[in-house]
Amino acid sequence: MPDPVVITRPRAQCQALADGVAALGREAVLLPLLDIFPLADQAPLQAVLADMMAGTTAYALVAFVSPNAIDAAFAQLGQPGLPGRWPAGVALAVLGETSRACLAKHGVDAGNATIFSPLDPARSDSEHLLDALDLSALAGKRVLIVRGESGRELMADGLRAAGAHVETVAAYRRAVPALTAQLGATLHTLLARRNDWIITSSEALRGLFGLLAELDAVEAGKGGACVAKMQQQHVIVPHARIAETAAALGVTRLTLAGSGDASLLAALQLQA
């Protein structure tokens, strides 16, 4: 019997990958490791998008750091007074194939927009997105980065170093779920057997190990050793930065797949 597959994406983004796992004849277990919340104050995001759609502010490029950023922005574009379609002539930048698929869900693809992403699907990060951009062409031009409340500054710093005028706007906030009795029981059940874990965020991976360390501390003397058990599980990640995080946390069975669901599912098939 194949090992179950634990999918750790935010709940709203789990289903398509879960369906792909099921199509392979594998059991999909949903364990969202990041909760995504709308911002209490949507006004800054609304104002930026309204100015862009009206042509008041001309951006040469709009970069989205994640599918969550895309979903949050397009939710605003669908509000009364704002057309849901992306404005012609405004290029987009994303970090990988999952974000490209998210754009396509909102009607934006290579057929109707210019979309930049890392050339190597295994390196879906800010560094490799910057490598894929013609930075010299952005010098002196306005660039918008749509992101969570917190995150890496590398993309913004790299664009500013190239002479671009960079603005950032928060579109959502994220948080690791609190350790509850139910979540603790779920983690114990999963760690009692072999699984393939698909983890698509360094923040989620660090959050998981934080939860397990908390569980070990709560159960000190009971022989749980949850962190040690997780280090022996098989972890599949979509790019090298998450693989580096996993290795630093002591994961010993690690597979680096490319970006996007197809690459993750292909990695699962190799493990079957």
Distances, alpha carbon 186 to alpha carbons 8, 29, 32, 239, in Å? 13, 10, 12, 27
5-34+177-271 and 43-175 in the same fold:
yes
- Show Cβ contacts of residue 180 under 8 Å, excluding neighbours closer than 6 positions: none
Residue-level pLDDT at 220: 75
Residue-level pLDDT at 120: 77
Residue-level pLDDT at 181: 95
CB 271 within 8 A of CB 224: no
CATH number belonging to domain 5-34+177-271: 3.40.50.10090
* pTM of the shown model: 0.79
Residue-level pLDDT at 224: 64
Residue-level pLDDT at 239: 83
Residue-level pLDDT at 92: 97
At residue 61, what is the residue type? L
Residue-level pLDDT at 117: 92
Question: What is the full per-residue pLDDT of the chain (272 aa) written as tens digits?
Answer: 789 999 999 988 888 899 999 999 999 999 999 999 989 999 999 999 999 988 888 899 999 999 999 999 999 887 766 655 788 889 999 998 889 999 999 999 999 999 999 887 667 778 889 999 999 999 999 999 999 987 678 899 999 999 999 999 999 999 999 999 999 999 999 999 999 999 998 999 999 999 999 999 988 766 569 999 999 999 999 888 899 999 999 999 999 998 788 889 999 988 65
Report the CATH architecture of 43-175. 3-Layer(aba) Sandwich (3.40)
At residue 259, what is the residue type? S
Kind of pairing between the strands at 5-7 and 196-198: parallel
Residue-level pLDDT at 13: 84
Residue-level pLDDT at 82: 63
Distances, alpha carbon 33 to alpha carbons 18, 44, 75, 87, 222, in Å? 15, 27, 23, 34, 25
Extents of the domains making up the chain = 5-34+177-271, 43-175
Residue-level pLDDT at 138: 96
Report the alpha-carbon angle 67-87-47, nearest 5. 70
At residue 140, what is the residue type? G
